[in-house]
Amino acid sequence: AARELVRGLLCAREARLGRGGAKDFRRAKLFRGLRWSRLRRSAPPFAPSAAGGAADTSNFDVLDDCLSLP
């Protein structure tokens, strides 16, 4: 189902998934059984915290050597 979705996105514009709007995605096998009407109210599987504000990078791996390169 995932391959079918990706193939539907990576093809000619005339045949691309989404050309008919969101209903194309709602019909995709990968999303079968998904309750679209409850999607916005459902809890995410992972909710990152940004306690440090907009500049908080604690959710990303930061390599020290890349910070020292010009």
Structure tokens at 70: 């010009």
The answer to whether 43 and 51 have CB atoms below 8 angstroms apart is: no
In a domain, 54, yes or no: no
Model confidence pLDDT, tens digit, residues 13-66: 999 999 999 999 999 999 999 999 999 999 988 888 878 788 887 887 766 666
In a domain, 57, yes or no: no
Domain count, the chain: 1
Q: What is the DSSP string of 25-50?
A: HHTSGGGTT--GGGGGGSPPS-----
In a domain, 45, yes or no: no
Instruction: Name the residue range of residue 11's domain.
Output: 1-36
